[in-house]
Structure 1
């Protein structure tokens, strides 16, 4: 016979699946709050049920959340029946509670399209943002080279239409950098930038420098977006000799600052 914390955890794993433990905990919490309202109707407020509603909207999956909200509304009806006096402020509080339940229900139906809960969905977006930033990082270079990059969107959001991809192909002495500007503003272009950054990051370095922009353009056209277009500038630098090639596709030309002279040179491509 197994005893102690380990035995309890094993029994818990057999009795309640991991994916349902949060739901069971919130149901138990709601039952305790409802029981407190039924036993002490003049002390325990109805608005206490907002706490499990808020936690459920954050933690539960889109499939579990609607059923939990319905259960909470039933508990709220039971709690209302124990109120000794129904005043105007009580009616308003009840109406607000049901309105919040309705809002959470509508939100859960919208989340069904994504299939993940609020916290998990946010972590997925953060992971995508971090991957985009990693793709724009400059790979290690010889000590004689110093490269700095800066990218800022107009709205200050990391999910914008501008992104950088950089790579240093294996068995090659070249540094490949591409700056891409996707049509749209702020988050409107963010979804397209997420897709293109992954695709362009795979193309960059896998193809000869002169084939990158044509291949990227073909990929973009295959998406058949109604308002989707992008401009890009591509730098291919030979680290050994310092020779470079600059190619653009609809993007403003690249500018080069000559060290010491302070002279800018615009490279039309």
Structure 2
């Protein structure tokens, strides 16, 4: 959210023009080489730290590392992360579709990591990627369910990925080679931003949770979206509340929703599968 807010702020400043000189931008692309991003906190860098260099090309520094005689000018304070347009009204259905801002952001990130953009995936093999959460809010009997799904759809490559165990670049590469992206409600579904056009997202929501954020995200990127709620009796291994409890869903319901998502890919691009 913070990085997306930064890119929005920079985009707006490059588009706007001061009233006293209509030919001068507040900030131009050429200014990136002399722009430095300053981080105020001392939190660990984390997997997304490299993304701060999307605009500012000078080395990212922390406030505590600035020398006492450092002088700053043209200070830009980006929008706070939660205030940007992507995550507003996330408990309501947003009718907006096809966001140019979000599409541009996705392309900037993929370009930064040198990942080839697939526009869209058209090969015969449909690739289904399931988020394998290992630390909490897991799908009970996930391996058995995915095995059954694989037997139903031998023409589909079905994989479960623990994204926390691989680099961010590898995560993006996997997502760019995914047609159907599925998982339990959680931040991992934000990867839907980087799916190729014409993809599908499937969200398994905890019982009685009616969050619309990932549905809205899918619409903004032009993806198909499907959702299903977990059963009331989720049989968690340990009680941690909806945010941490494992979830259970009857295998018939699981296979039903995943089947709909898979079949939505049957005639995308050059594919020609019959629904029978």
Superposition TM-score, scaled by structure 2 size: 0.23
Decide which structure has the larger Cα Rg and report it.
Answer: 1
More helix by share: 1
Superposition TM-score, scaled by structure 1 size: 0.23
